[in-house]
């Protein structure tokens, strides 16, 4: 590299972004563009940084593929900080392969980590899991290791695997301490706080009890028959039936669980599940059909007994019945609880799950979005809704370890 | 990657590469993360590490002296003084005191990489401009321009031979070029990952090569066939 590039890189490494910029401010050659881009990113000028890095990558071209790959990684990271997730995953994968081919292991891992975090932010949890699984965080720079562990924690928490989540959090904490990046430590602390916030309420006759995520997970893992109005499902232990797409079945399950060990009147079930106060013979027939379906779904854990006036839940093997509800009442809380699975939901799927109109759901989402409690990706029909990440992990730009010109 | 092959194909009519023989590695040096220019003062090897010029004894590898001065790229020695490219200038430095005696503007305005002293002139590598400039060490006036077809990092003269180092896309070579035409006469290919940021001959059998971000200095054997 030439002398001003070296001087500029030296300033950047010492945290002097303005000093770095000053030395290459008027230069348009690819290494200078890359340095200007990284300095701009550190100064928080993300759109400008992205443009400069893109031009640097183009300038390096196929001939200087290693330097170009590093620029592609830096650009992807800046794009993620801007929450612009429309970038090409293929370009990032190609960059990772190039970095591997040049034995630049740390930056190759950085590229793959960015790809995995993008998938997490997009709510594509299975793909994110597949992307994170093969990453070897040993011997990684500590800042990268911390981000990798935070991502693993996020993924584990979204699937209510509290033990692995806590273990990943502890490793993230340890790596963040080694990295000595205050912002990273703050993110770990935030993630830890999320674990201790009330995540649900347990409702029982005459009262309720606030539960943390690990208490929810413990209940779900226990022998009890859990009717979960947060994630809309019914089950015990491993036998979990998601019912988000079957609102009538879920409403029946919830009504039966609420009355347990008592029974529920047919009329009341019809009014609750079918939203009508005028039961007739057709609705009574439909109730029998729906109860039959629910009975088949929970057959292993419980029976549903017909009583003189209605139906009652009869769990097997002296199981308990536990009813979980969102931490607070209301449409918004139900939405947030549903989104806490980390997956990307369409408005129509949310409306279906909550048995509410799309208009109502849209209104509630708009209010939540304004408060920063949900976020949207995509536009129009492709729009999807997600909970914000538990770990912030996009506030810090780690950027490729070695500068593009090294 | 295709153009790399294309470049090698272009070079083929000139000469086929041979593998460089690395004799010894020095460093990384305390407090330094990279090495840019290198020079040889008859006994010691000097390496530019950004904020310090480090002198070491090539026999023992021990650091014998350090000078605090800005050193971003090429380094040279004229028998009395060190010359060092720093940002966009060339500093003339007293190796005894570390004092900067005088400075001239670098001919590439900061696009300069390698530096060497020969025949009363300074020879400056222009990195991405793929050139070597001969300049007047007092005024900085450009006396001659030699074109290369690869990025120029280090530059050195030995026994009337002009050598320059190149480092492009993680591949490095030492190349002997015709000082008049710039034609490549001989090529020594460095192993992958051993990239060359600076180059200096010890006047005899060895080249010393700055190892960039590796923070090392590598001694490479000068090929026998090259010595007339």
Structure-block tokens of residue B195: 């990239």
Q: Does A94 touch chain B (CB under 8 A)?
A: no
| Residue of chain B with shortest Cα separation from A70 | B169
Q: Please judge whether B113 and A61 are an interchain contact, meaning their C-beta atoms are less than 8 angstroms apart.
A: no
> Are residues A391 and A153 in contact, defined by beta-carbon separation less than 8 angstroms?
yes
> pLDDT tens for residues A228-271?
999 899 988 788 888 988 999 999 999 999 998 899 999 999 99
Distance (Å, rounded) from C-alpha A225 to C-alpha A232? 13
| pLDDT value for A180 | 87
Cα distance from B72 to chain A (closest Cα, Å)?
Answer: 5
Write out the two tokens for A361.
Answer: 């759901």
At B63, is the secondary structure helix, strand, or coil?
Answer: strand
Read off the pLDDT of each residue in A336-347 and give the average, rounded to a whole number. 87
Indicate yes or no: CB of B128 within 8 angstroms of CB of A2: yes
What is the nearest CA distance from A184 to chain B, expressed in angstroms?
Answer: 25
Q: What percent of chain A has pLDDT over 90?
A: 49
B98 CB within 8 Å of a chain A CB: no
Tell me what ipTM this predicted complex has.
0.89
Would an 8 Å CB–CB cutoff place B53 in contact with chain A?
A: no
Q: What is the pLDDT of residue A68?
A: 94
Q: How many helices (H) and strands (E) does chain A have?
A: 18, 11
Contact B3 A61 (CB under 8 A): yes
Task: List all residues 6 or more positions away from A101 whose beta carbon is below 8 Å from its beta carbon.
Answer: none
pLDDT less than 70: residues of chain B: 1-14, 225-228
From chain B, pick out residues whose CB is under 8 angstroms from the CB of A406.
34, 212-213
Cβ(B197)–Cβ(B74) below 8 Å: no
Q: Which of A49-58, A144-153, A389-398, B133-142 has the lowest mean pLDDT?
A: A389-398
pLDDT score of A395: 56
| Start-to-end Cα distance in chain B | 36
Residues in Cβ contact with A34 at an 8 Å cutoff, skipping those fewer than 6 apart = A52, A53, A56, A60, A67, A70, A71, A74, A403, A404, A405
In whole angstroms, give the CA distance from residue B73 to residue B116.
11
**Which residues does residue B50 pair with via DSSP β-bridges, in sequence order?**
B71
Closest CB from A23, A103, A402 relative to B213: A402
Tell me, what's the pLDDT at A136? 84
* Residues forming beta bridges with residue B177, ordered by sequence position: B162, B184
What integer is the mean pLDDT of A376-400? 77
Mutation site, B50, B125, B170, interface A, largest A CB count within 10 A: B170
For the stretch A302-337, pLDDT in tens is 899 999 999 999 998 878 899 999 988 888 888 888
CA distance B43 to B39: 11
Question: Does the pLDDT value for residue A72 go beyond 90?
Answer: yes
Per-residue pLDDT tens for A173-196? 999 999 888 888 888 998 898 888
Output the pLDDT for position A404: 47
Q: If pLDDT is split at 50, 70 and 90, which confidence band does A131 have? A: very high
Chain A residue nearest residue B87, CA to CA: A4
Judged against a pLDDT cut of 60, whether residue A211 lies above it is answered with: yes
Put simply, the answer to whether B87 touches A102 (Cβ < 8 Å) is: no
Which residues of chain A does B169 touch, with a Cβ-Cβ cutoff of 8 Å? 63-67
Residue B13's pLDDT is 55
CA–CA separation, A179 vs A340, rounded Å? 30
- For residue A9, the number of C-alpha atoms closer than 13 Å in the C-beta half-sphere is 28
Other Cβ atoms less than 10 A from the Cβ of A392: the count is 16
pTM over 0.80: yes
Q: What would the mean pLDDT of A44-58 be, rounded to a whole number?
A: 94
Pairing of β B171-177 and β B184-189: antiparallel
């Amino acid at each position: 590299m030439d002398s001003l590039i070296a001087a500029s890189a030296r300033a950047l490494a010492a945290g002097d972004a303005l000093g770095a910029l000053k030395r290459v401010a008027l230069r348009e050659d690819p290494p200078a563009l890359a340095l200007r881009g990284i300095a701009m990113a550190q100064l928080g000028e993300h759109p400008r940084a992205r443009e400069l890095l893109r031009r640097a990558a183009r300038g390096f071209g196929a001939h200087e593929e290693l330097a170009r790959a590093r620029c592609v990684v830096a650009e992807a990271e800046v794009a993620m900080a801007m929450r612009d997730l429309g970038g090409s995953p293929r370009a990032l994968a190609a960059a990772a392969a190039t970095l591997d081919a040049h034995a630049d292991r740390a930056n190759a891992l950085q590229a793959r980590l960015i790809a995995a975090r993008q998938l997490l932010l997009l709510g594509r949890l299975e793909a994110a899991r597949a992307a994170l699984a093969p990453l070897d965080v040993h011997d990684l720079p500590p800042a990268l290791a911390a981000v990798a562990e935070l991502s693993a924690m996020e993924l584990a928490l979204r699937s209510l695997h509290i033990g692995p989540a806590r273990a990943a959090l502890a490793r993230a904490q340890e790596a963040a301490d080694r990295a000595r990046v205050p912002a990273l430590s703050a993110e770990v602390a935030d993630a830890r706080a999320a674990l201790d916030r009330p995540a649900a309420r347990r409702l029982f006759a005459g009262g309720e009890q606030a539960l943390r995520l690990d208490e929810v997970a413990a209940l779900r893992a226990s022998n009890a028959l859990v009717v979960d109005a947060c994630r809309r499902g019914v089950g015990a232990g491993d036998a979990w039936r998601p019912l988000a797409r079957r609102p009538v079945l879920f409403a029946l399950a919830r009504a039966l669980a609420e009355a347990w060990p008592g029974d529920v009147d047919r009329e009341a079930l019809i009014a609750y599940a079918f939203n009508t106060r005028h039961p007739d013979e057709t609705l009574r027939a439909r109730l029998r059909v729906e109860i039959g379906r629910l009975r088949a779904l929970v057959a292993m854990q419980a029976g549903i007994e017909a009583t003189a006036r209605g139906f009652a839940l009869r769990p097997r093997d002296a199981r308990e019945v536990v009813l979980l509800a969102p931490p607070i009442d209301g449409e918004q809380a139900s939405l947030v609880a549903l989104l806490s699975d980390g997956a990307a939901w369409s408005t129509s799927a949310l409306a279906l799950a909550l048995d509410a109109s799309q208009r109502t759901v849209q209104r509630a989402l708009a209010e939540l979005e304004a408060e920063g409690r949900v976020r949207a990706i995509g536009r129009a029909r492709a729009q999807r809704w997600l909970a914000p990440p538990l770990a912030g992990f996009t506030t810090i730009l780690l950027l490729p370890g070695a500068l593009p010109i090294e | 990657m295709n153009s790399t092959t294309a470049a090698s194909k272009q070079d083929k009519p000139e000469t086929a590469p041979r593998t460089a023989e690395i004799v010894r590695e020095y460093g990384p040096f305390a407090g330094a993360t990279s090495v840019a220019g290198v020079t040889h003062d008859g006994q010691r090897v000097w390496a530019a590490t950004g904020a310090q010029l480090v002198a070491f004894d090539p026999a023992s590898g021990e650091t014998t002296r350090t000078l605090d001065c800005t050193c971003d790229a090429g380094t040279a020695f004229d028998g009395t003084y060190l010359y060092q490219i720093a940002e966009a200038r060339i500093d003339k430095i007293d190796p005894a005191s570390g004092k900067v005696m005088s400075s001239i503007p670098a001919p590439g305005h900061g696009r300069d990489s390698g530096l060497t002293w020969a025949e009363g002139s300074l020879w400056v590598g222009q990195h991405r401009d793929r050139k070597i400039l001969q300049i007047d060490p007092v005024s900085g006036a450009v006396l001659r321009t030699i074109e290369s077809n690869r990025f120029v990092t280090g530059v050195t003269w030995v026994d009337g031979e002009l050598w320059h180092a190149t480092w492009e896309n993680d591949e490095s070579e030492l190349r002997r070029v015709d000082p008049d035409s710039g034609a490549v006469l001989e090529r020594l290919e460095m192993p992958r990952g051993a990239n060359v940021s600076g180059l200096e001959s010890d006047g005899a059998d060895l080249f010393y090569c700055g190892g960039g971000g590796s923070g090392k200095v590598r001694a490479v054997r000068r090929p026998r066939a090259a010595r007339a």
